[in-house]
Amino acid sequence: MAILINPKTNFLIQGITGKQGEQACQEMLAAGSKVVAGVTPGKGGLKVQDVPVYNSIKEAQEKHQINCSVIFVPPKLAKGAIVEAIEAGIPLINVITENIPFHDMAYCFSLAREKKALIIGATSAGIYSVGKAKCGPIGSGKAGIAFTPGPVGVISRSGGMSCETALVLTQAGLGQSTVVSIGSDILMGAAFAELVPLFEKDRETKGIVLFGEIGGTAEEDLAAYLLKRKEQGKPFKKPIVAFISGKVASTMPGVSLGHAGAIIQEGKGTREAKVKALKRAGVIIAEVHHEVGLLMKKALKQ
């Protein structure tokens, strides 16, 4: 079954005529995704990889049903593209663009909540329901090596490490159901606490692996959700294995590390705090990244 996307998902690419948009379109089609349309204002009538291009989403919707929009629009124009997708009623929006102004994304998230649209990103590398459909550049040319179909869901704050995590699982003999790159900004769309329940409902997914990072509270938010479930007498039953990067960060105070989300404030967002919260919630912690496959394999046998 997988989550978020499947073989029936109809994709639209906003910014399809750009270099990255066209490359992603080619890779998505090769993976079996149904890319039915693209949008670039002023470029309507063109075709990219034999996919028709329209001037607006409204024009595209006159001829196509669209379930997911993938955003490859420059940062200063991204807000308009995301708002257009939300207002058009597209239920899933995957924002690949990086460096979108903070207040622009804050507005988009507020509107998405109001209109009941789900945003993955920004700074997402994409979504891959392995063997079914691929959204965005996730895995790029290594997709055929790293990803294999199977029972483990993956959620990663790092785009590159979403692919590496899949590879570690594949090498351990565990395939993946859906791999989701949620982006690395402090302000993000759907994160661990929103996506883990979707994997819980998916019959194909038997366990979940998380790649977390220092900064922000996405990991702590998940821990709070899992603890609340325990208190309600509805414990989360599928095993969750997490690796939290940033072990050396505490030895380099004041040094800027990694993504925009890697900001630690008032003792919050540290690796130590995240690991402590997740352990308390029953999550299995991998001390080194290459352990996630073996730890999940062991957990699935219990």
By annotation, the residues acting in catalysis are: 259
Residue for token pair 């982006």 = 183
**Which helix (H) or strand (E) segment is 285 a member of?**
strand 284-285
Q: Kindly list the distances between the CA atom of residue 245 and the CA atoms of 24, 208, 220, 270, in Å, as whole numbers in the listed order.
A: 28, 17, 14, 10
Question: Which residues pair with residue 95 across a beta bridge?
Answer: 71
Phi, psi of 10 (to 5 degrees): -100, 115
d(CA 61, CA 280): 47
CB 215 within 8 A of CB 262: yes
227: burial class by Cβ within 10 Å (0-12, 13-18, 19+)? middle
- Report the candidate in 73, 23, 74, 67 with the shortest Cα–Cα distance to residue 49: 23
d(CA 95, CA 125): 8
* Residue type (1 letter), 157: R
The total number of residues shown for the chain amounts to 302
258: burial class by Cβ within 10 Å (0-12, 13-18, 19+)? middle
